[in-house]
Amino acid sequence: MKRFLFNLMLVVLIAVVLAVWVMLPWMGVLAAAVLLALWLGLTRNGRQTVSVTSVGLRTLGQRLGSVSVIVIGIAGVVGVLVALLAMGSGLSATLQGGGRDDTAIVLRGGSTSEAQSVLVRSDVDAITQEPGVQQDAKGKPLASAELVVAANVRKKGSDDDANAQLRGIDPMAWALRPDLKIIRGRKFHTGMRELVVGEGAAREFAHMDVGDTVKLGREDWKVVGVFASHDAYDSELWADRAAVSDAFRRGNSAESVLVRLTSPAAFDRFKAALASDPKLKVEAQTTRDYFAKQSEQLTRVIRVVGITVGVIMAIGAVFGALNCMFAAVASRAREIATLRAIGFRGTPVVTSVMLETMLLALAGGVLGAAVVWLLFNGYTASTLSGFNQVVFRFRVDPALIWTGLKWALAIGFVGGLFPAVRAARLPVSTALREL
């Protein structure tokens, strides 16, 4: 019964420690590391721990097989976890990158995306005249009614089809996106079957270089320019709205209206004016909020998948570490017993075994994070967002690497705890009799 209660308390302790560890910021970890260093250097138990740990580390060369199992196993866990989270981080950054606080997007009421919205000409005219909309030097509102359609294109280097997002825009659209730059060619001419394409689309889809002709719907379109925006627009094809509407038989409708506000603070006034207009059944959001909501569900799925896969792999890595450290403790049983017989207490023995395991885990975490950073940071991929293909880059940032290292140390903690407790509880007389 006592043994059962002890094991239960140990499991509860592990759960509490891991929960605290997951939420601990880097400053808390730094403080814990400083306290550990002070304990190791200033206390008798701490100095004994350093002595026992140094002996264990000197024997690593004799245990290369088991050491490799721990390091490579944990490197795999960290690598997979960080890679999946980097995919979610890169996709989220791409989808949210086009958002600003001083621009608003207006959709038909109840719509969650442009594809679900329809606005007629009178809606567009009323929206652009509401208070809070900025005007240019000629007194024209900085607003663009936009139409988005799915266009069937061919993936570059294969015969596979894909859906590209073709956006029909008004002339003011360029001023509403100041970070978007033409990097090759020129802008399209109003009323012409001409395209400018995002650099992501140019990399992903065939016949998207300046001077190429691509068939969209039933019409041939000439690519006259390539732009860079470093956000979701990079995956789109842009053309004159009237030409897109005519080619795809959309009449004079739009799906959204993008407006530049006089200031971020003007958004509440603009939204209230839309709500009070009885002729309009529309909803407005800042583009920052809109793109954040568009990316939220997809990135949450990627994060859940990444953590789930990481947990499954972590369980395997924990068992691998347990087996290896139990074997290491068994092979050093006489050595540990001798140390305890000459006056070393149980605390230095427990701490030294755990330190050894966590140092190996840290090495595995650094290895896994380094491999992922070298292979995947900036790696270009594409995925579906709704019915359209979005090109994005993996983003391995310090926060993700730190998350991976915390997982590695957590695995090392769990993998070293039980062998450490066994080493401390091993009877001295029994250990000394073992060969």
pLDDT (tens digit per residue) in 64-76: 777 888 888 888 8
pLDDT band at 43 (very low <50, low <70, confident <90, very high): confident
Q: CA torsion angle for 341, 344, 347, 349 (degrees, to 10)? A: -70
* pLDDT tens-digit series, residues 265-274: 999 999 998 8
pLDDT band at 435 (very low <50, low <70, confident <90, very high): very low
Kindly tell me if the per-residue pLDDT of 285 is higher than 60. Answer: yes
Kindly tell me if the per-residue pLDDT of 195 is higher than 50. Answer: yes
Give the global pTM. 0.72
Burial 163-194 (b: 16+ CB within 10 A, else e): ebbbbbbbebbbebbeebeeebbeebeeeebb
Range of weakest confidence among 116-130, 172-186, 333-347:
333-347
Nearest Cα to Cα of residue 198 among 180, 171, 214:
180
In the predicted model, what is the mean pLDDT of residues 17-34? 78
Q: Higher confidence at residue 139 or residue 297?
A: 139
In the predicted model, what is the mean pLDDT of residues 221-226? 94
Question: What angle, rounded to 10 degrees, do the helices at 346-376 and 333-341 form?
Answer: 140
Please answer whether residues 395 and 86 qualify as being in contact, where contact means their C-beta atoms are separated by less than 8 angstroms: yes
* pLDDT tens-digit series, residues 148-183: 888 888 888 777 777 888 999 999 999 888 888 999
